[in-house]
Amino acid sequence: MRDFDETNITEAVLEQFKNTPNPRLKTVISSLVRHLHDFARDVDLTFDEWNYAINFLTRTGQICSSARQEFILLSDVMGVSMLVDAINHRMPEGTTATTVLGPFYVENPPEFPLGFDISRGIKGERLFVEGTVTSASGERLGNAEIDVWQSDTDGYYDVQRSDLSEPTLRGRLHADSQGRFHFWSILPSPYSIPYDGPVGDLLKATARHPWRPAHLHFMISAPGHEKLVTHLFVRGDQYLDSDAVFGVKNSLIQDFTLQPAGVAPDGKKMSGPWRKLVYHFGLKPVAVAAAQAR
């Protein structure tokens, strides 16, 4: 194979991939080649633009660390993360809608007992969160595993702060035998996604803002059910209609109701006002997931 022009090179590349043993990989890589080549041809990509792209992707990879995942961020702002979410989650009635994972999840978070304050006392409006985890049918899922993570009042996750000595506003709880859970935290704030790297450059060059509406992240697992990855958003946030990563769904916007000083549901005496969030998560049984798989 020699002397390729801008038309016949695509078939030549597909030819070199023709012996891919895994049929699914062959399908995915062949489609990727076609779409990448179509893109380059459609815009008559210049050598300088290609060179910029190579440098952009390299910087995106090099800025990644245990505390930063810039490629997820790039996928998020390009709408690819939400698209993959939509493709894979055709959810039945009785289940909670899904949304993006985001770049701030940390594997193996610290475990906490029910009722723990995951804020560890940092500043912010106190927030009491309670609810249940059920199957789509309504059956309670006892001992369901609940990972939660969120930003602080200034809009930062713990992994973005160098002044914290332990995981904060992040942790793993288990529902009780009746699928019930509760914990303390603080009200999350809207925040700018990391803006000082390649993805920030992209947003600046395209006159896009980097803000996300305030939310709590949840990842919930129970035997026999698809893992649920979602957020709960704070109703009234100014960025609900222009989330930089396209993650908002109406059903995930919740009231974080303001409560007067007094006694909280777990008996804690509150000397000032506090917030309460109640949410009942519905998980999709794996049998349904398998039947819907295409």
Torsion of CA 88, 170, 201, 63, to 10 degrees: -100
User: Cβ closer to its own copies: 9 or 67?
Assistant: 9
263 touches its own copies by CB under 8 A: no
Q: Position of tokens 């049984």? A: 285
Name the token pair of 240. 């609900």
* DSSP per position, 199-245: HHHHHHHTT---EE--EEEEEEE-TTBPPEEEEEEETT-TTTTS-TT
Residue type for position 210: P
Binding mask 3-22 for its own copies (x = CB under 8 A): xxxx--xx-xx--xx-xxxx
As measured in angstroms, the least distance from the Cβ of 104 to its own copies is 14
247 near 224, Cβ under 8 Å? no
Site stretch for its own copies (CB under 8 A), options 145-153, 169-177, 240-248, 262-270: 240-248
Q: Determine which residue in the list 91, 159, 175, 248 makes contact with its own copies, applying CB under 8 A.
A: 248
Residue 43: CB minimum distance to its own copies, A:
5
Residue 57 as a binder of its own copies (CB under 8 A): the answer is yes
Among the listed residues 165, 158, 294, 140, the one whose alpha carbon sits nearest the alpha carbon of residue 225? 140
Tokens of 93: 């009635």
User: Which of these ranges, 43-51, 126-134, 149-157, 269-277, lies near its own copies under the rule CB under 8 A?
Assistant: 43-51
In the list 27, 137, 178, 238, the residue contacting its own copies (rule: CB under 8 A) is: 27
Rule CB under 8 A: is residue 240 a binding residue for its own copies? yes
Q: Do 151 and 191 touch, CB atoms closer than 8 A?
A: yes
* Among the listed residues 45, 261, 263, 286, the single contact to its own copies using CB under 8 A: 45
Structural Rg of the chain based on CA atoms:
22
- Please, which residues bridge with residue 283 across strands? 135
**Number of shown-chain residues binding its own copies (CB under 8 A):** 78
Q: Among 163, 166, 196, 241, which residue sits at the site for its own copies (rule: CB under 8 A)?
A: 241
Among residues 62 and 238, whose Cβ is nearest to its own copies?
62
Which stretch in 31-39, 140-148, 152-160, 283-291 sits in contact with its own copies by CB under 8 A?
A: 31-39
Residue 255 binds its own copies (CB under 8 A)? no
CA 239 to chain centre: 16
Instruction: Answer yes or no whether residue 207 interacts with its own copies by CB under 8 A.
Output: yes
Query: How near is the Cβ of 109 to its own copies at its closest, in Å?
Result: 18
CB of residue 74 to its own copies, shortest distance in Å: 8
Residue 162 or 250: which CB sits closer to its own copies?
250
Which residues, numbered 79-98, are part of the site for its own copies (CB under 8 A)?
A: 79-88
Please provide residue 87's backbone torsions phi and psi, each rounded to the nearest 5 degrees: -65, -35
Amino acid, single-letter form, for residue 86:
A
Interacting positions 153-182 with its own copies (CB under 8 A): none
286 near its own copies, judged by CB under 8 A: no
* HSE (side-chain half, CA atoms, 13 Å) at 66: 4
Query: Smallest Cα–Cα separation from 100: which of 213, 205, 268, 6?
Result: 213
